Structures are given as C-alpha cells and as structure tokens.
C-alpha cells in the first residue's frame, strides 16, 4: 500500500528556511518506475538542464540521454558515505516552469525515502541546487537586462548620430540655398541693369531708325 501511494503525487514536505516545496513521487525510466523526489522551478528547461548537469557533475561522471541525467556511482557525503546511484530527469510542459525529479539508491538498491536517515542530506542537496540555479537565473536576467540596456543605448546613440548627420546635411543645404539666393540676387540685379540698358538701346535704335527713315525719305523726294 505504501508503494502504491508513493507512485503518485501524494505527499508534500515543506521545510523551514527553504522556499522550495519538495514533492514525493515517481518517474518512469525506460521500463522501470523509480521512486524519489521532485520540485518545480520557474525557470526555462534549457537553463535548468544546463545548471543541473553542471551541479551534479561535482559528485561523479554524468551520463546524459536527452532529459535523463544519471550518475552510476555518485559521492554525496551529505546523503550517504556509500556510493549512490543517482537517477534524475528534467522535464517541462510550460515554457518557464521546469520539473526536476531525482531518485537516490544507496548500497546497491536501497532507495532513499522521506522517512530514511538520508533524507536530510537529500533535502540539503536539492536546496543547494535550487539556490545554485536561482543564482544563475538572477545572473542570466541581469545579463539580459544589461544586454537590453546596451541595445537601447546603441539605439539612442545611433538615433543621435543620425540626427547629427541630418542637422549637418540641413546646414549644408541651407548654406547652398543661401548661396543660390545670393547668386540669384546678383543675377537679378544684373538682369535689371541689362533691362535698363536694353530699354536705352531700344530708344536709341528707334531714334536711329527714325533718322534713317527721314534721310531716305528726303533722298527719294530729291530723286523725283
């Protein structure tokens, strides 16, 4: 009856000073179902997997196959002076929530339960990992925020540089327009002078024409 109860999510243990709740349950590994402990962490699976592999590697050689992480002969003195077979799995069905299951077999087959003397060591082991991965998550979030701040700084600097270039371009265009206006003013003055001179030339031409016509008329009269 006890074993049947342990195959489900039936017992919850909350520990003083440990913000993380540890649940008693079981997981299937291949054709075997193993009893152990699990907790959920509000961190993406890919980060928890990386942290878990790094954390447990301190206790022995890690064999990984997809989401399963095993250590055949782990040395975890806080749990037992004997070698431990650690079988664990990291799973997730939500983007920012990850489940870590771990089963600890001591002395070649005695699985640590919540009633065994080794349970205090399991508590510390999982508590240490929780603190480890949360610290790493804080670092990741800080780095992400720093990257976002850097991107924002780069963006506003880029905008500022573009504004500076646009201002310089506007100044050059203004200078060009002012130069064209000055050239236009000078050209207009010249055209006005030329127009006055042309009017005088027209008047002189008319006078000359009148004189020529009068002279021609006198000659014609004398010939007759």
Average pLDDT for consecutive 10-residue bins of the chain (224 residues)? 33 41 90 93 95 97 94 94 95 91 87 86 93 96 94 93 93 92 91 90 88 81 73
Residues 6 or more apart whose Cβ sits within 8 Å of residue 53: 62, 64, 69
In a domain, 103, yes or no: yes
Helix (H, G, I), strand (E, B) or coil at 205: helix
In a domain, 206, yes or no: no
- pLDDT (tens digit, 9 = 90+) per residue, 90-117? 999 888 899 999 999 997 678 898 888 8
Tell me how many domains the chain contains: 1
In a domain, 8, yes or no: yes
Asked whether 40 and 129 are in contact (CB, 8 A), the reply is: no
In a domain, 192, yes or no: no
Range of the domain at 24: 2-145
Number of C-beta neighbours around residue 72 at 10 A: 13
In a domain, 183, yes or no: no
d(CA 206, CA 196): 15
In a domain, 116, yes or no: yes
pTM greater than the 0.75 cutoff: no
In a domain, 97, yes or no: yes
């Amino acid at each position: 009856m006890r074993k049947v109860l342990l195959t489900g999510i039936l017992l919850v243990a909350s520990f003083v000073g440990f913000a993380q709740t540890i649940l008693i349950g079981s997981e299937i590994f291949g054709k075997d179902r193993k009893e152990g402990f699990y907790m959920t962490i509000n961190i993406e699976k890919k980060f928890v997997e990386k942290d878990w592999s790094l954390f447990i590697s301190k206790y022995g050689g890690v064999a990984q196959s997809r989401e399963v992480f095993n250590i055949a002969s782990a040395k975890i003195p806080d749990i037992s002076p004997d070698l431990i077979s650690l079988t664990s799995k990291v799973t997730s069905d939500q983007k920012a929530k990850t489940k870590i299951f771990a089963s600890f077999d001591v002395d070649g087959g005695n699985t640590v339960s919540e009633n065994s003397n080794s349970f205090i060591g399991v508590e510390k082991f999982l508590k240490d990992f929780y603190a480890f991965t949360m610290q790493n998550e804080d670092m990741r979030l800080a780095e992400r925020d720093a990257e976002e701040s850097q991107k924002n700084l780069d963006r506003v600097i880029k905008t500022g540089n573009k504004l500076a270039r646009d201002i310089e371009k506007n100044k050059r265009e203004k200078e060009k327009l002012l130069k064209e206006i000055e050239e236009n003013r000078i050209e207009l003055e010249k055209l006005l002078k030329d127009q006055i001179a042309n009017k005088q030339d027209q008047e002189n031409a008319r006078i000359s024409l009148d004189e020529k016509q009068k002279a021609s008329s006198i000659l014609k009269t004398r010939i007759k």
